[in-house]
Amino acid sequence: MGTPAYNVAGIYQQIHRDLAKDTHEAPDFQTALAVHELLDQVRKAGETGAALTLKKTETV
């Protein structure tokens, strides 16, 4: 549990459920982009020692 392969399998399961039940529970591209941008900001703050200011985003 918690390995990259396990996490990818979980996403595939969510996508399968979404397709089977016509739902939208799996993360989409916009969510992935937001997570990667956040991680980039955290990394840069860690490298520079600068404070990290987060903006509030809308939730669905």
Model pLDDT, residue 59? 57
With 0-12 / 13-18 / 19 or more C-beta atoms within 10 angstroms meaning exposed / middle / buried, residue 16 is exposed
Contacts of 44 (CB under 8 A, 6+ apart): 50
Full pLDDT tens readout for the chain, 60 residues: 679 899 899 999 999 999 999 999 998 999 989 999 999 999 999 999 988 887 776 655
- What integer pLDDT is reported at residue 54 of this predicted model? 75
Instruction: Give the per-residue pLDDT at 44.
Output: 92
